[in-house]
């Protein structure tokens, strides 16, 4: 029997309306989000930048049939800024996620921009051991909290250095069309996904990933992952190159086939990487974790010297405490160290093979030749009040080999320099954030970042939103 339930709750400041449609076990939930945010920033000697963003979001999730789940979200955003003129976007993906101008496109008559994001996926639990998934969504591998190195999903952190170079573009991670499955055998889980990426709008690009998760004990697990990226061009950002429109390699779709060996079958021209990670939970309170991402490694000593630029690797290690109950408050803590060697995520064949999607790294958004020490303390009282304090010490080289779009060519120097003192920027970022939810449907938030060191400035953000 079909039922339609509409719940209305009135309060002094907002209205919540939850729509639920059910028919036996099947159901669908619909929700609406309205949010407004104001960002103010000043970096180095630049003028003040004030930007206002209005967001309208729509949620839909439910159970369409026994063991068939769906989840979708779409949002429309409108930006208006003072002290900033948006550039026209030519819809080339390497410029970041595209936006439309609200004016006629004249650079001196800019009235703002509009852009939208969406993600949608369907999961079918075919058997107790097999789940098949597909859609347009974010995928994440690995236990790191701040800087996932292999696939970071929708993790996005404002970075001061990136913001100067790309303030006019949207550097938020973009979902990928994907299809995949998870095979759970209790002590080990095998996962495999195929994804379509975008760097140039007229040329194909793909990523394949498969992973083994070993559950050694209740508190200890480790994982092994392989990824491979390939596409139809070796063009640079904004430049012409040799272009071919490659089709998907069927061999990479076959389960349990190591990419390390399969790449030779396809002509030894793709960008493969491997990673390993672990998670160890102590006393049901602490978690110690680590990730090692090997983009390329020609000899074992490549971990310890800088003789060869192609020895590319990254690591992220940390400790975390989640929801420790002390008195009436819940406490969270995270300390993480990340090191990314020069040239990591890049590829000598250019855009078609670099480890990116819509101009963003699929791994850590720190990019190559960087280091971060990050610490965060969070305290909350139920869902009513949340406070976060963070400090981050970042070193980012700006020399050749420090940007994901850099391309190593014949004749370039063959050694590498990690955080060369002559070209490395060092800065510290101090952050404070508070979220106040007087009612379940309405929140007010504020964030403040202060940047000191070689790169000085600040950024303030105020947000208020209503979920219907």
φ, ψ at 277 (rounded to 5°): -150, 160
The top-level CATH class assigned to 33-467 is mainly beta
pTM exceeds 0.85 for this model: yes
The yes-or-no verdict on residue 11 having pLDDT over 60 is: no
Q: CA separation (Å) from 257 to 192, 209, 227, 254? A: 11, 11, 12, 6
Q: Which two tokens stand for residue 88?
A: 């026209």
Domain positions in the chain are 33-467
- CA atoms of 79 and 124, how far apart (whole Å): 38
Over residues 303-329, the pLDDT tens digits come to 888 889 989 999 999 999 998 888 899
How does the average pLDDT of the chain come out, rounded?
87
- CA atoms of 369 and 57, how far apart (whole Å): 37
Q: What is the pLDDT of residue 96?
A: 86
Q: What is the mean pLDDT of residues 356-361?
A: 93
Please tell me the least confidently modeled range out of 88-97, 127-136, 224-233, 363-372: 88-97
More confident residue, 167 or 330: 330
Query: Dihedral, CA atoms, 149, 155, 156, 162, nearest 10 degrees?
Result: 10
DSSP-based helix, strand, coil % in the chain, nearest 5: 5, 55, 40
Instruction: Give residues with Cβ within 8 angstroms of 167, minimum separation 6.
Output: 49, 84
The yes-or-no verdict on residue 92 having pLDDT over 70 is: yes
Q: What is the mean pLDDT of residues 104-118?
A: 73
Over residues 427-458, the pLDDT tens digits come to 999 999 999 998 888 899 999 999 999 988 98
φ, ψ at 350 (rounded to 5°): 85, -155
Confidence category of residue 200, pLDDT binned at 50, 70, 90? confident
Q: What is the pLDDT of residue 13?
A: 34
Strand partners, 390: 376, 431
Q: What is the mean pLDDT of residues 50-67?
A: 91
């Amino acid at each position: 029997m079909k039922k339609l339930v509409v719940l209305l709750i009135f309060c002094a400041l907002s209205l919540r309306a939850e729509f639920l449609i059910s028919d036996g076990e099947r159901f669908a939930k619909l929700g609406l989000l309205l949010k407004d945010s104001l960002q103010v920033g000043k970096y180095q000697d630049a003028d003040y930048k004030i930007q206002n963003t209005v967001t309208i979001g729509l949620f839909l999730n439910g159970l369409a049939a026994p063991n068939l789940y769906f989840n979708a979200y779409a949002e429309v955003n409108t930006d208006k800024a003072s002290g900033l003129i948006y550039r026209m976007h030519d819809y080339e993906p390497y410029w970041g996620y595209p936006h439309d101008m609200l004016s006629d496109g004249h650079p001196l008559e800019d009235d703002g921009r509009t852009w939208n994001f969406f993600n949608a996926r369907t999961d079918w639990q075919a058997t107790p051991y097999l789940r098949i998934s597909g859609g347009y969504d974010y995928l994440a591998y690995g236990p790191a909290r701040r800087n996932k190195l292999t696939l970071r999903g929708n993790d996005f952190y404002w970075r001061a250095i990136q913001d100067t170079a790309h303030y006019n573009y949207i550097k938020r991670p973009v979902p990928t069309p994907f299809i995949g499955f998870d095979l759970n055998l209790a002590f080990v889980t095998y996962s495999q996904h195929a994804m379509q990426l975008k760097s140039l709008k007229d040329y194909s690009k793909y990523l394949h990933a498969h992973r083994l998760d070993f559950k050694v004990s209740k508190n200890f697990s480790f994982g092994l992952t392989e990824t491979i990226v390939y596409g139809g061009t070796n063009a640079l950002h904004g430049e012409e190159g040799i272009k071919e429109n490659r089709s998907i390699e069927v061999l990479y779709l076959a389960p349990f086939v190591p990419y390390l060996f399969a790449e030779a079958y396809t002509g030894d021209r793709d960008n493969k990487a491997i990673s390993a990670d672990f998670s160890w939970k102590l006393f049901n309170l602490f978690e110690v974790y680590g990730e090692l991402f090997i983009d390329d490694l020609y000899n074992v000593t490549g971990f310890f010297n800088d003789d060869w630029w192609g020895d590319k690797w990254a690591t992220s290690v940390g400790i975390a405490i989640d929801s420790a109950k002390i008195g009436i408050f819940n406490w969270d803590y995270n300390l993480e160290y990340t090191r990314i060697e020069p040239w990591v995520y890049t590829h000598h064949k250019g855009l078609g093979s670099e480890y990116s999607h819509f101009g963003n790294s699929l791994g850590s958004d720190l990019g190559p030749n960087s280091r971060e020490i990050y610490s965060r303390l969070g305290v909350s009282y139920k869902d009513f009040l949340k406070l976060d304090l963070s400090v981050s010490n970042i070193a980012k080289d700006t020399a050749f080999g420090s940007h994901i779009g850099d391309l190593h060519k014949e004749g370039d120097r063959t050694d590498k320099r990690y955080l060369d003192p002559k070209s490395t920027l060092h800065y510290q970022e101090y952050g404070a954030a508070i979220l106040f939810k007087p009612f379940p449907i309405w929140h007010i938030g504020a964030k403040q970042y202060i940047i000191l060191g070689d790169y000085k400035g600040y950024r303030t953000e105020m947000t208020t939103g209503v979920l219907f």
